[in-house]
Amino acid sequence: MNSFSSKSRNQLLSFARNEKFDLIVIGGGITGAGIALDAASRGMKVILIEKDDFASGTSSKSTKLIHGGLRYLKQLDFKLVREVGQERAIVHRNAPHLVYPEPMLLPVIKGGSLGKTSTAIALWLYETLAGVKSSEKRKMLSKEATLLLEPLLNDEILKGAALYTEYRTDDARLTIEICKTAVSYGAICLNYLKVNEILKENEKVIGVSVSDGLNNDMFNFYATYVINAAGPWVDELREVDNSRKGKFLHLTKGIHLVFQRSRFPLKQAVYFDHPDGRMIFAIPRENSVYIGTTDTNYKEDKEVLEVTNEEAQYLLNGTNLMFPLLKLQISDIKSSWAGLRPLIHQEGKSPSELSRKDELFISESGLISIAGGKLTGYRKMAEKSVDFVVKRFKKEFKKDFGNCKTENIVLSGGDFQGIAEVANFIEQQTGESKQVGGTFQLIRKLVLKYGKNTEKIIALAYELWPQTENKDSVLQLAEIKYCEENEMVIFPADFWIRRTGALYFEYEGLIEKIERFQDSFHVNLNKTHSELREKHYSLLKELDKSVNFK
């Protein structure tokens, strides 16, 4: 049994209910996905369970950067800088269409946190520790050269800049591709299943009790070990296990705002100082520019996370000071998102001072919880968690699942020899898809999301061509079908938010598109018409929430 198609969901469920797994992973964010891949590739029987959609928690709400670890330099954590630098190189190699370099301008300003010399020294140290390639090393720029690169910067406070390299990604797509790869190694990954109870025998964890979000069925899954990778919800599950003792989570909220590129014509990604000393990113992406982020304590309801007017205004103020010609206003915002960092509490530390390090908590019942960390370090977090399980298997059952293999596992769609090959592939597939309406722009978008799997979408478009009345829609229909059959899309929101990021970056005409393609989603298993309408309106509500703030 090996499938990531929503058409196989019922079959997968019946199979899983009668199986004893080696490992249950709770949570389908990047941490859980990474663990499922690591464990499945070592030969374990794994099931991953997600209460909503994959990446619907923090893993679709980040700044979407695979950091090299520059911020850890400030905390003098040299070991972490080195590790994060190495991880960035690995994830780029294994998914070059999804993780690639983004030159970042770091302006040096009057009264700013760093001067030119200290910036150059800090970047030199960072690049040395992180093992940055020579072609991606910093360049120190004069004020004039900086303004040539980014004319929107405030020339009254600008003294010059450093140009260094960050890597950008699409967090939700990275999570999905990791799940897909885990499935190719035999893992079962299911969304819309919520863990309500941790099952125990003789006070030891033996499985979980779940409810199915699609039809309210309840059932149990059994496994030798259970890992709780529920991100901001980790402590809730520890409470269910009666083991929330000692260290606990400290959630901090971060928001991002999106503008049309024509309104914010940024040429170049910039990492700049807010007057309060925090740093803000402004990053161009296709026809948009997004800015972020904030870092504030969060203790309210995790299920209704929203950007507030005050938070939006804070980012606008900082941005308008650095780019004074823009005079951005709330009404210019085209989309937004808010996320929660699942950090570990440290007494007396402010949100920005809290360590981003990850940690394993092992309860007396044997529940393994992993908390903290970053998108960038997901592979190492997975290795640490699965190594722990492997040790337990060895000790308790004399069974050896061996060492971590993920360093050399190419992620689904990522089979390219670097970004030059990605560019060639875009050209080639544009040629291949001309007859079904493929243009360079459309195919580029697809390749940056699905990599080599774009070929499968184009093949589906050829299949659908004869029966499709509106020929302009055929590639869109093929993309929806591909995601239903290969990426476990259940509801339209899964597609428009997590699989494509359209809610954040393709918002023009999106409502009309959602309405037009509503009936093209076929796999709404066991759902009544009114339930589907309800889901449809909750998607429109998400859209409304992304531009209207309280």
Ligand X SMILES: Cc1cc2nc3c(=O)[nH]c(=O)nc-3n(C[C@H](O)[C@H](O)[C@H](O)COP(=O)(O)OP(=O)(O)OC[C@H]3O[C@@H](n4cnc5c(N)ncnc54)[C@H](O)[C@@H]3O)c2cc1C
List contacts with ligand X (CB under 6 A): 26-32, 49-52, 56-59, 61-65, 67, 194-195, 229-233, 237, 254, 293, 339-342, 373-376
Distance CA 55, CA 53 (A): 6
Of 315 and 460, CB closest to ligand X: 315
Of 167 and 425, CB closest to ligand X: 167
Q: How far is the CB of 63 from ligand X (least distance, A)?
A: 3
Q: How far is the CB of 379 from ligand X (least distance, A)?
A: 11
Q: How far is the CB of 60 from ligand X (least distance, A)?
A: 7
Q: How far is the CB of 52 from ligand X (least distance, A)?
A: 5
Of 383 and 455, CB closest to ligand X: 383
Of 256 and 481, CB closest to ligand X: 256
Of 152 and 174, CB closest to ligand X: 174
Of 240 and 448, CB closest to ligand X: 240
Of 190 and 461, CB closest to ligand X: 190
Considering only the C-alpha atoms of the chain, give the largest distance between any 2 of them, rounded to a whole number of Å.
71
Q: How far is the CB of 73 from ligand X (least distance, A)?
A: 15
Instruction: For 268, list phi and psi in degrees, rounded to 5.
Output: -150, 135
Q: How far is the CB of 466 from ligand X (least distance, A)?
A: 39
Of 194 and 527, CB closest to ligand X: 194
Ramachandran class of 76: left when φ > 0, alpha when ψ lies in -120 to 50, beta otherwise: left
Q: How far is the CB of 132 from ligand X (least distance, A)?
A: 17
Q: Contact 97/416 with Cβ under 8 angstroms? A: yes
Amino acid residing at 34: G
Of 31 and 524, CB closest to ligand X: 31
* CB atoms near residue 155 (< 10 Å): 12
In the chain, the N- to C-terminal Cα span, in Å, equals 47
Q: How far is the CB of 385 from ligand X (least distance, A)?
A: 11
User: HEC states along 392-450?
Assistant: HHHHHHCCCCCCCCHHHCCCCCCCCCCHHHHHHHHHHHHHHCHHHCCCHHHHHHHHHHH
Ramachandran class of 7: left when φ > 0, alpha when ψ lies in -120 to 50, beta otherwise: alpha
Q: How far is the CB of 412 from ligand X (least distance, A)?
A: 18
Q: Contact 352/359 with Cβ under 8 angstroms? A: no
Q: How far is the CB of 500 from ligand X (least distance, A)?
A: 18
Single out the residue of 431, 250, 258 nearest to residue 332, CA to CA.
Answer: 258
Q: Contact 175/169 with Cβ under 8 angstroms? A: no
Of 28 and 501, CB closest to ligand X: 28
Instruction: For 109, list phi and psi in degrees, rounded to 5.
Output: -125, 160
Q: How far is the CB of 210 from ligand X (least distance, A)?
A: 7
Of 59 and 412, CB closest to ligand X: 59
List all residues 6 or more positions away from 541 whose beta carbon is below 8 Å from its beta carbon: none
Which residue intervals of 162-265 are DSSP H helices?
171-184, 234-240
Distance CA 312, CA 330 (A): 7
User: ∠241-60-46 over CA atoms, to 5°?
Assistant: 45
Of 235 and 455, CB closest to ligand X: 235
Single out the residue of 284, 312, 296 nearest to residue 64, CA to CA.
Answer: 284
Q: How far is the CB of 291 from ligand X (least distance, A)?
A: 12
Q: How far is the CB of 494 from ligand X (least distance, A)?
A: 12
Q: Tell me whether residue 101 is exposed, middle or buried, using C-beta atoms within 10 angstroms of its C-beta: 0 to 12, 13 to 18, 19 or more.
A: middle
Of 160 and 254, CB closest to ligand X: 254
The 10 Å CB-count burial string (b at 16+, else e) for 187-197 is: bbbbbbbbbee
Distance CA 386, CA 182 (A): 14
Distance CA 319, CA 328 (A): 8
